[in-house]
Amino acid sequence: MSFTFHVPTRVFFGTGCIQENSAELARWGQRALIVTGRSSARTSGALDDMQQALDRQGITWAIFDRIEENPSLATVESGSAAARAHRADMIIGIGGGSPLDAAKAIAALAANNISARQLFDGAFAVQPLPVIAVPLTAGTGSEVTQYSILTDTESRTKRSFADRSVFPKAAFLDARYLHALPAPITINTAVDALSHAVEGYLSRRSTVISNMLALEAIRSFGTVMKALSQKTFSPDDRERLLYVSLLGGMVIAQTGTTMVHSLGYSLTYFRNIPHGRANGLLLAEALRFAEPEVPEKIAAILAALGLESLDALKDTMHLLLGPEEPWTPEELETFADIALLAANIANTPKVPGRNDLQQVLINSIITA
């Protein structure tokens, strides 16, 4: 047996975890820049709780609340200017994956004299500022990953940088902040979390430890499938989804994602399909493509979900994710070509070629 496992984030999970652990914040800095989207940090109550915790610890704070969905390079550059203006020594991301990923980028840019595009070049000369994460969606697991995914209009896709130095130092997961998350976003993000667990389980870089976490995440997702299809969520369901998302993040931190995410980026970039939904629309057919290579793993995934077949998984995804998304022949070519350039495609158990990717897209059309 041979593996490495690395998740350096101190995870606080449960109701009231920010209030109860405010002393953790003082370990990382004295001048915080809080990075959020436009409204959910406020409406969820998370921003209030964080501000009170920072005040209690005597930590000065400022807010940068301009992170859009799928954050752009320009936005993280403005955020880093705000961090410098505040002389921030730590960055606190509060939000879905978009503000959390932006917080990581801002932490690196604020410490290094580089442009946002240079984030993709690798190693930073100066250690990024410490990042603290408060997820407000249950999906990306960004609170426990070294990834930041940004939209690069020049290369017409989403690109990620990965660096151990941007793993959040601490993450606070309180499911109360998700109580008003609209059902469509709850579902899309939950499917992203499932996709992380499934892709991580299949990844060529999977290990015994990541597989254990992945199967636990997939089983837990199975227990909330009914709530997802009924679109009503109890506090327990919310907490369970946050747990799935956390585990999914720990998995992909080890394994990376696969062709599902590689193709999904184009669905988001060109068609504005939310990230989790993009993955979910492709998931069953991507598994069908992988099945001859790893049949026992596909069987284990279906068993963990309590589903009989890949067709049942496809039906479930379509029930959850709604109307069809037919693609044009030109789109098939563009999406496949862009996916071939994505680094994560190499993690797929049977690495797809151009035709394979187009076929997965064709097969994923819900109805003709």
CB nearest Fe ion: which residue? 192
For Fe ion, what does the binding mask look like between residues 189 and 228, x meaning CB under 5 A?
Answer: ---x------------------------------------
Does 338 bind ligand NAP (CB under 6 A)? Our answer is: no
Q: Which two tokens stand for residue 129?
A: 């500022």
- C-beta closer to ligand NAP: residue 14 or 315: 14
146 binds, among Fe ion, ligand NAP, none (CB under 5 to 8 A by kind): none
Give Rg (Cα) of the chain: 19
Smallest gap from residue 309 Cβ to ligand NAP (A) = 27
Q: Which two tokens stand for residue 122?
A: 């690798």
What is the H or E stretch that residue 367 is in?
none
CB neighbourhood size of 145 (10 A): 30
3-class secondary-structure state, position 358: helix
Does 136 bind ligand NAP (CB under 6 A)? Our answer is: yes
Q: Which DSSP letter does residue 129 get?
A: P
Among 9, 24, 29, 44, binds ligand NAP (CB under 6 A): 44
Smallest gap from residue 100 Cβ to ligand NAP (A) = 7
Does 200 bind ligand NAP (CB under 6 A)? Our answer is: no
Residues in the chain, overall count:
368
Q: Which two tokens stand for residue 340?
A: 């071939």
Count the site residues for ligand NAP by CB under 6 A: 33
Applying CB under 6 A, the span of 17-25, 76-84, 92-100, 206-214 interacting with ligand NAP comes to: 92-100
d(C-alpha 355, C-alpha 365), whole Å: 16
Pair 301, 272: CB distance under 8 Å = no
Among 29, 93, 97, 128, binds ligand NAP (CB under 6 A): 97
Smallest gap from residue 275 Cβ to Fe ion (A) = 6
Smallest gap from residue 276 Cβ to Fe ion (A) = 7
* Burial (0-12, 13-18, 19+ Cβ within 10 Å), 15: exposed
Residues 20 to 39 in contact with ligand NAP, rule: CB under 6 A? 37-39
Residue 315: what residue type? D
* Burial (0-12, 13-18, 19+ Cβ within 10 Å), 295: exposed
For ligand NAP, what does the binding mask look like between residues 247 and 286, x meaning CB under 6 A?
Answer: ----------------------------xx----------
Q: Which two tokens stand for residue 57?
A: 């610890």
Pair 253, 206: CB distance under 8 Å = no
* Residue numbers at the binding site for Fe ion (CB under 5 A): 192
Q: For binding to ligand NAP (CB under 6 A), which residues are involved?
A: 37-40, 44, 69-70, 95-99, 101, 136-137, 139-142, 145, 147-149, 158, 177-178, 180-181, 185, 189, 192, 275-276
